[in-house]
Each structure stands twice: as structure tokens, then as C-alpha cells.
């Protein structure tokens, strides 16, 4: 497969996941599984952009790891906020 | 210098030429090191704003749950498609220059620019739509405050990127880059993809999640 063809496939996947994610958000009842699915979409799409558009899959390991971590930590924070929202709120509340 | 011989049977725009891939060696730093300082600054800035978002979401779950229903999903989705497509065109431009196809590289960049200009245009209509529906940053709704803060900041980064993209077109047109030397273009591409990456995080948080 040529690099161009691979980019075409990645772009198509990203577009399909974007439309699928938007449809899911519009049609599904809110719940943990919807949040987890959307977080997984975020992580996967982020990884696709990082590895194939930014071409970090063979780049300097420090740059690669830090940027890849970004697309893992933010979706993970979303799941944690849904799971432990009241605890996070207590931990981050200002003392009166 | 590495040269990647592409398959002769392909009719792809870059398949016939030997592609210079010296900027893809294992462990390479894409583009200029200085650009990575800028990209990390950008990622850190947005990471701090994401922390604010999650803390606010933890404190006001109902406001955030209802918030995305007040925004235009069409505008958010359109801007995601625009960012992804513009980013894709920039990635194709980089591969075109590796094949020393300067004219094609320029065309891909033009396509990326035209697509990218759709972002501020959609944003303009989105904000107008918001204001007619009473959504502004001062309505006391914390979801709307974080939404305006993050998305306006992202708009600023996209605007810089669009200006840089125009400069890239000038540089390619004046033959400042070649298959052997195009670190400036790769640096810009890295910035544009990082800006795309940030939008991929923003979009579901504000427009998709209920």
C-alpha cells in the first residue's frame, strides 16, 4: 500500500467515526456506555492523527509518547469524571 | 539519504517517483525542534483548559449534560470534518513534496487552505446562531463559559495556522522547498495536525456528550 492510499483510508475512517460519534450522541440515551464509546472514539481518532498525519509512529520516542499520552489522558479524564464526578467535585471544592 | 522506490504498477500521484524519506528515519524529530516547543505550549495550554472543563463538569453535571443540546451539532460536526479534511490535504502535500512534485504539493496546500477557511466561516454562523438563541459567555451558564473560552482559543490557533498555510503556499511556489529540504513544511504540518488533534478532543466534549 502506498503512503497516499494509507492516508486516504485513515481520512475515511476518521470521517466515518466522526459522523458515527455525532449520530450516537444525538440518538442514544445518555449513560456510561455512551461516554466510554465516545471516549474510545476520541482516543482512536487521536491516535490515527498522531501516527499517520503527524507521522509520529517512527519519530523521536519522547515526542511520540507525550503526544500519544495526550489522546489517552483526555478521554480517560472524561470517563473518570463520569464515574467519580462527586469525588472530584469534593476534592476540587474551595473551602468556605 | 533514504529513497523509497514506490511500486511501479500504481498510478498514484506519487507512485512513479522515488520518494525522499530522510525525514522519516527511526527516532527523527519532525520538522524543526523549535516548532515542537510551540506545539507542546499549545497542547499544555489546552490541557489546562481541559482540566477546567472536567472540574466544572464534575461540579455541574446537569448543566453540562443539558449544555450540548443548546449548541448546534451541525456546526460542530461540520468543523470537525473541515479540520480532518484540511489536515489530510496537508499530509498529502507533505508526501507530494517528498516525491518532488512541487505543483501537486501546492495544489494540496491550496485545497487544505480552501477547506480550512471553512472553519472560521462555520464559526461565524455558529456564533450568530448562538447569539440569536441567547447563548453568550455572560449568560451565567458555566457550560457556555467554558465552551466559549475553549473554542475561541482554538479559533485563534486555527487562524494562525491558516496564515502559516498561506506562507507555505508562497514558499512552495517560490521553490523554497524541495524533496531534500522541506523541514519548514513538515513543521507547519505538525502544528496543523496538533490543532486538529485538539479539536478532536473539544468536539465530543461540547457537541456530542449529553
Cα–Cα distance measured from residue B61 to residue B65, given in angstroms and rounded to the nearest whole number: 6
The grid cell for B73 is 451539532
Nearest to B55 by CA among A29, A94, A52, A56: A94
The grid cell for B86 is 484540511
Please state which of the ranges A51-65, A75-89, B17-31, B129-143 shows the lowest mean pLDDT: B17-31
| β-strand partners of B28 | A59
Q: Please judge whether A25 and B209 are an interchain contact, meaning their C-beta atoms are less than 8 angstroms apart.
A: yes
User: Which one of A21, A49, A89 has the shortest CB-CB distance to B193?
Assistant: A49
Whole-prediction pTM: 0.92
Neighbouring residues of B134: CB distance < 8 A, sequence distance ≥ 6: none
Radius of gyration of chain A (CA): 17
- What local confidence, expressed as pLDDT, does residue B42 receive? 97
Cα–Cα distance measured from residue A47 to residue B8, given in angstroms and rounded to the nearest whole number: 31
Neighbouring residues of B91: CB distance < 8 A, sequence distance ≥ 6: A7, A52, A53, A55, B189, B193
- What local confidence, expressed as pLDDT, does residue B4 receive? 52
Radius of gyration of chain B (CA): 20
Distance from CA of B193 to the nearest CA of A (A): 6
Per-residue pLDDT of chain B (210 residues; tens, 9 = 90+): 444 544 444 445 544 456 767 677 888 899 999 999 999 999 999 999 999 999 999 999 999 999 999 999 999 999 999 999 999 999 999 999 999 999 999 999 999 999 999 999 999 999 999 999 988 888 889 999 999 999 999 999 999 999 999 999 999 999 999 999 999 999 999 999 999 999 999 999 999 998
User: Which one of B6, B88, B203 has the shortest CB-CB distance to A2?
Assistant: B6
User: Which one of B47, B84, B190 has the shortest CB-CB distance to A54?
Assistant: B190
> If you write DSSP's letter for every residue of chain B in order, what string do you get?
--EEEPPTT--STTTSSEEE-GGGSTTBPPS-HHHHHHHHHHHHHHHHHHHHHHHHHHH-HHHHHHHGGGS-HHHHHHHHHHHHHHHHHHHHHHHHHHTT-HHHHHHHHHHHHHHHHHHHHHHHHHHHHHHHTT--TTSS-HHHHHHHHHHHHHHHHHHHHHHHHHHHHHHHHTT---SS--HHHHHHHHHHHHHHHHHHHHHIIIII--
* Helix (H/G/I), strand (E/B), else coil: A34: helix
**DSSP structure class, residue A51:** I
Give me the interface pTM, i.e. the ipTM. Answer: 0.95
Q: Please judge whether B81 and A46 are an interchain contact, meaning their C-beta atoms are less than 8 angstroms apart.
A: no
Q: Please judge whether A7 and B92 are an interchain contact, meaning their C-beta atoms are less than 8 angstroms apart.
A: yes
* Chain B residues within an 8 Å CB radius of A53: 87-88, 90-91, 189, 193, 196
Residue burial B157-187, b: 16+ Cβ < 10 Å; e: rest: bbeebbeebeebbebbeeeebebeebebbbb
Q: What is the mean pLDDT of residues A41-69?
A: 96
- What local confidence, expressed as pLDDT, does residue A95 receive? 81
Amino acid at each position: 500500500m502506498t503512503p497516499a492510499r494509507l492516508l486516504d483510508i485513515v481520512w475515511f475512517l476518521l470521517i466515518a467515526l466522526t459522523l458515527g460519534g455525532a449520530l450516537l450522541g444525538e440518538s442514544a440515551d445518555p449513560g456510561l456506555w455512551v461516554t466510554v464509546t465516545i471516549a474510545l472514539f476520541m482516543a482512536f481518532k487521536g491516535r490515527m492523527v498522531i501516527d499517520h498525519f503527524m507521522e509520529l509512529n517512527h519519530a523521536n520516542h519522547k515526542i511520540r509518547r507525550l503526544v500519544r499520552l495526550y489522546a489517552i489522558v483526555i478521554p480517560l479524564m472524561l470517563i473518570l469524571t463520569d464515574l467519580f464526578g462527586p469525588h472530584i467535585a469534593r476534592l476540587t471544592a474551595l473551602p468556605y | 539519504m533514504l529513497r523509497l522506490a514506490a511500486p511501479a504498477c500504481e498510478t498514484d500521484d506519487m507512485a512513479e517517483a522515488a520518494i525522499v524519506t530522510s525525514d522519516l528515519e527511526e527516532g527523527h524529530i519532525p520538522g524543526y525542534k523549535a516548532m515542537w516547543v510551540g506545539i507542546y505550549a499549545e497542547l499544555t495550554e489546552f490541557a489546562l483548559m481541559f482540566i477546567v472543563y472536567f472540574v466544572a463538569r464534575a461540579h455541574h453535571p446537569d448543566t453540562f449534560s443539558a449544555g450540548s443540546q443548546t449548541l448546534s451539532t451541525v456546526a460542530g460536526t461540520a468543523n470537525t470534518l473541515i479540520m480532518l479534511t484540511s489536515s489530510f490535504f496537508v499530509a498529502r502535500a507533505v508526501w507530494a513534496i517528498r516525491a518532488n512534485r512541487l505543483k501537486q504539493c501546492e495544489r494540496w496546500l491550496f485545497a487544505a487552505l480552501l477547506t480550512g477557511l471553512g472553519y472560521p466561516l462555520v464559526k461565524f454562523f455558529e456564533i450568530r446562531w448562538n447569539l440569536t438563541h441567547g447563548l453568550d459567555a455572560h449568560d451565567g451558564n458555566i457550560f457556555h463559559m467554558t465552551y466559549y473560552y475553549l473554542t475561541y482559543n482554538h479559533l485563534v490557533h486555527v487562524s494562525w495556522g491558516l496564515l502559516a498555510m498561506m506562507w507555505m503556499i508562497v514558499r512552495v511556489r517560490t521553490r523554497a522547498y524541495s524533496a531534500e529540504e522541506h523541514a519548514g513544511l513538515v513543521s507547519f504540518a505538525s502544528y496543523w495536525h496538533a490543532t486538529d488533534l485538539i479539536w478532536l478532543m473539544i468536539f465530543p466534549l461540547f457537541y456530542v456528550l449529553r
